[in-house]
Chain A
Amino acid sequence: MDISEFIKKIEAEVEELTPGTLKPETAFRNLPEWSSMHALIIIALVDMEYDVTITGDDLRKCTTINDIYNFVKSKK
């Protein structure tokens, strides 16, 4: 896996994200509309695409998309 592929998958899943807007350094909590539904989308994506469980506590420790990516990579 690489981060651009990871970002493309998130952009495909989250409705209001225009492809190309998400960067590795994006602080996802600052995205407009960030809600618990977005967290569920990321949890489902990481579970189904990478077979990795990311909990609410794990997400709390992440600031950027890159942090989530590194977490998933470390569990693979």
Chain B
Amino acid sequence: MYAFIKAISYYLPTSKFTNSDYFNVFPEMAENKNLERVGVKERRIVDPHLTSSDLGVSAAENIFLEHKIDRNEIDFILYCSLESDYLLPATSMVVHKRLMLSRNCGAIDLSVGCSGYPYALSIAKGLIESSGFKNILIINSSTLTKTIHLKDKASRFIFGDGAAATLVSSRDDNWGIGEFIFGSVSKMTDAIIIKDGGARNPISESSYIDYKDDYGNITDNAHLYMDGPSVFNFGLKAVPQMISDLLIKSKTELENIDLFIFHQANLFLIDSIRKKLLIPEEKVFNFMETVGNTVSASIPIAIYEAQKSGKITSGSKVLLAGFGVGLSTGATIIHF
């Protein structure tokens, strides 16, 4: 039996934060023409009273409805998000309950960020090809904007909220999910971090003391900190290396890949990676202009849109590359 991606749907919160809203908050950025190269014009922002599981449940309900999937046939749910509803139990259990999934359906959380989609696919493939399960539901959900400091002009431009649901199923012939490459640059754990609020540093008064980075982005230890230049350098180095390693492991050539979908980090970074790898522009599919960077949901949302626009059809070989918080990398090749 082989695992393959059978269906994808996604869900976005309704509230929008457009570039014109952004320039109202940060008027000093209005003349910065270089910002256009980030590739984002609007993002969706989750309501403060909703959580990542709310978005995830909506994405799952969308996949059941849109692709006529019987929820009772789901054998396992992989819930991939950086945000949890509770300290315990796992959010996958909350999602299992709200989706009214079967008593025999397993459920675990994956606390992985921007590289989360390849990680979840690899576990789904293992559950199908090694353990004989048939239908694995992956949910990637992000409400990262809740953790961004209101004065952080870099992160507020980049990130948007959203969730995607992917059904990975089994089929008799024809591989659907290929080899994987993973990597962990754990010396860079501090490059993308929310320092306070976990077990290591409980929230205290000092968590809310603002500080400014070299570029005037303001945050505090209770909110997201991202060292943009370090993450950018990591992307420029780690992603081309990971892709060439994956091609070697898969015994294939770059020319044999029909389409590349990168984690939708930032268009300027993706385009720089594309140029380094000498990938023709038409072979890279991006979808971030209206959604921003939705963390681990960004790749499945882009796949959905690539299928809708006819860029992915039956038989397409698509290379997926995730990279981000950790700092962590993961890539695979999908045969649709």
- In the bound complex, how far is the Cα of B233 from the Cα of A16, in angstroms? 23
1/0 contact trace for B218-233 toward A, CB 8 Å? 0000000001111011
Give residues 278-313 of B contacting A (CB, 8 Å).
none
Q: Which of B30-38, B42-50, B89-97, B244-252 contacts A (4 or more CB under 8 A)?
A: B30-38
Chain A's nearest CB lies how many Å from the CB of B18? 18
Asked if B31 and A36 make an inter-chain contact with CB atoms under 8 angstroms apart, the answer reads no
Asked if B34 and A36 make an inter-chain contact with CB atoms under 8 angstroms apart, the answer reads no
Asked if B236 and A47 make an inter-chain contact with CB atoms under 8 angstroms apart, the answer reads yes
Chain A's nearest CB lies how many Å from the CB of B174? 38
Chain B's nearest CB lies how many Å from the CB of A31? 11
A37 contact set on B, CB distance < 8 A: 32, 34-35, 37-38, 268
> Is B86 close to A, CB under 8 A?
no
Asked if A39 and B34 make an inter-chain contact with CB atoms under 8 angstroms apart, the answer reads no
Chain A's nearest CB lies how many Å from the CB of B225? 13
Chain B's nearest CB lies how many Å from the CB of A63? 12
> Is B255 close to A, CB under 8 A?
no
* A55-B230 contact, Cβ under 8 Å, with A40-B269, A44-B272, A60-B214: yes
> Is A1 close to B, CB under 8 A?
no
1/0 contact trace for A40-61 toward B, CB 8 Å? 1101100110000111100110
Chain B's nearest CB lies how many Å from the CB of A6? 18
Asked if A44 and B215 make an inter-chain contact with CB atoms under 8 angstroms apart, the answer reads no
B29 contact set on A, CB distance < 8 A: 33, 35
Give residues 1-52 of A contacting B (CB, 8 Å).
14-16, 32-41, 43-44, 47-48
Interface residues on A, range: 20 to 34
Asked if A56 and B34 make an inter-chain contact with CB atoms under 8 angstroms apart, the answer reads no
Asked if B217 and A48 make an inter-chain contact with CB atoms under 8 angstroms apart, the answer reads no
Chain A's nearest CB lies how many Å from the CB of B316? 29
Asked if B31 and A59 make an inter-chain contact with CB atoms under 8 angstroms apart, the answer reads no
Q: Name A56's contact: one of B153, B216, B229 (CB within 8 Å).
A: B229
Asked if A35 and B233 make an inter-chain contact with CB atoms under 8 angstroms apart, the answer reads no
- In the bound complex, how far is the Cα of B230 from the Cα of A47, in angstroms? 13
Give residues 1-40 of B contacting A (CB, 8 Å).
28-29, 31-38
A16 contact set on B, CB distance < 8 A: 31-34
Chain A's nearest CB lies how many Å from the CB of B65? 40
* A36-B228 contact, Cβ under 8 Å, with A47-B236, A60-B214: yes
- In the bound complex, how far is the Cα of B217 from the Cα of A71, in angstroms? 25
- In the bound complex, how far is the Cα of B269 from the Cα of A47, in angstroms? 12
* A33-B233 contact, Cβ under 8 Å, with A40-B228, A56-B214, A56-B227: no
B35 contact set on A, CB distance < 8 A: 35, 37
* A33-B214 contact, Cβ under 8 Å, with A40-B232, A43-B232, A48-B275: no
> Is B154 close to A, CB under 8 A?
yes
* A to B CB contacts below 8 Å, 28 in the list: A15-B33, A15-B36, A16-B31, A16-B32, A32-B31, A33-B31, A33-B32, A33-B34, A35-B29, A35-B35, A35-B215, A36-B154, A36-B214, A36-B228, A36-B229, A37-B37, A37-B268, A38-B34, A39-B215, A40-B268, A41-B268, A43-B236, A44-B236, A47-B236, A47-B276, A48-B272, A53-B233, A56-B227
Closest 4 A/B residue pairs (Cβ): A56-B229, A15-B33, A36-B215, A36-B228
Using a CB–CB distance below 8 Å, which chain B residues touch chain A?
28-29, 31-38, 153-154, 213-217, 227-230, 232-233, 236-237, 268-269, 272, 275-276
Beyond A37-B35, A60-B214, 16 additional contacts (C-beta under 8 Å) are: A15-B33, A15-B37, A16-B34, A32-B31, A33-B31, A35-B34, A35-B153, A35-B216, A36-B154, A39-B229, A40-B269, A41-B37, A44-B268, A47-B236, A47-B276, A48-B272
